[in-house]
Structure 1
């Protein structure tokens, strides 16, 4: 059984000579990774004759319409995969980068742990819906490094810090459009949304033990350099977290006064808002409903 899906493209990365496409279903808010598992049963990569829209590669922020099955080959550890039906993909329009911030997951770690990889055996032990292999992350620190492999191939790796204080170091970048920009001299500035994905199991020569799924930067989206927009986005996220933990207006203001000597969120700098948001996200859920008007 199949259905028409509308997916915001958040990844178009290289995968064994073809591409891996992934994004958010705008009707459900869930991650979807279209897989061509009949043609490529080993990894589901998407060939050019299927993925092109109007003769071009799908771009990040495109809203793609496609026919997908309601299930797909999970390759033993992935929860987001849906099989592709061979109907022509369409681009319905584009979204603004700031509209995607709400899809950044509220998780303790970026994809299950603080390391560079996750073992497939760990994922297989989780309930199916918890086998996350894709995550959108808002970062305020993003450094890149150009390296030459032993085979003479240029590759780029990224080191990031999320707005929640999570860190990843030396993560391979596979977003081909962004790699092209880096090769042309692009300089990192401002804040970004990054799609982090787990690759198929792979190990270096001489690796001992289970082949891991390495974390990859498969999509890079630059956020507009607008302090007002960033402030509004962060305040919106603190609204959500305040409701989740059940804090009152008085509790919120007391925290701001104690930690920043300020009484309102609009008085905070971007860095202070990020610190406030990270603190709220670290607190557990509250059973009480939040119905007190919050402060501005």
Structure 2
């Protein structure tokens, strides 16, 4: 089965990629996952290469061959793609088209609470209708904090629906690559794609990750 989606995330996951987008037909989220369990079903970079040698980018409209739905209770949007076929770029899209098309979960919060994480026990106790792991929001102002420890870490804070959210980790390498100096940077009028991650073993929580920053 083929599907056409607007690509909205291209973030790092286990040295490969987390890829998700919006189905042009249904307006629903689809997260594309590989069959490679050793990399937690992340998408290898080679699968992002179109037949002409160029690489898939955020806001590309792409056609992908799917094999099956592989939902997890904390990531119900997951679909496994067929790696024997190239992805095909059909055209480019825009945030305006995304906003008109996207059908979102009605949760007024960013994943059920005002924290940057959810206890796995809370997530597993949700009803099927409450499960979702991808959200797009538009914010007039966000603050990107760059800190250096053993490596550079990127956190973002923003307000949404009258609630302030602090220190969400950013996994959008394409966007943050230009920020190499320690400091705080104001981002005006940005779209944020936020993803709920896998269980972090040290505290048994799912962290909320900013998978894409789109201006």
With structure 2 as the length reference, what TM-score do the two structures score?
A: 0.88
Could you say which residue in structure 2 is the equivalent of 1:9? 7
1:196, CA displacement in angstroms? 0.4
Could you say which residue in structure 1 is the equivalent of 2:157? 159
1:104, CA displacement in angstroms? 7.3
1:99, CA displacement in angstroms? 2.2
Q: Report if aligned partners of 1:104, 1:138 keep a CA contact under 8 Å in 2.
A: no
Change beyond 3 A, Cα 1:14–1:78: same
Change beyond 3 A, Cα 1:119–1:57: farther
Q: Which protein shows a greater Rg?
A: 1
The one of the two structures with greater contact order (alpha-carbon pairs below 8 A, sep at least 6) is 2
Separation in 2, partners of 1:148, 1:184 = 9
Q: Report if aligned partners of 2:14, 2:40 keep a CA contact under 8 Å in 1.
A: no
Separation in 2, partners of 1:129, 1:10 = 23
Could you say which residue in structure 2 is the equivalent of 1:147? 147
Structure 2 residue runs without a partner (length 5+): none
Q: Report if aligned partners of 2:14, 2:39 keep a CA contact under 8 Å in 1.
A: no
Separation in 2, partners of 1:146, 1:184 = 7
Could you say which residue in structure 2 is the equivalent of 1:25? 23
Could you say which residue in structure 1 is the equivalent of 2:189? 191
Could you say which residue in structure 2 is the equivalent of 1:91? 89
1:141-169 per-residue CA deviation (whole Å, 9 max, x = no partner) reads: 200111113xx20121100112x223210
What number of residue pairs does the alignment pair up?
A: 210
Q: Report if aligned partners of 2:17, 2:42 keep a CA contact under 8 Å in 1.
A: yes
Please tell me the root mean square deviation across aligned C-alpha atoms, in Å. Answer: 2.2
With structure 1 as the length reference, what TM-score do the two structures score?
A: 0.65
Could you say which residue in structure 1 is the equivalent of 2:59? 61
Q: Report if aligned partners of 1:104, 1:137 keep a CA contact under 8 Å in 2.
A: no
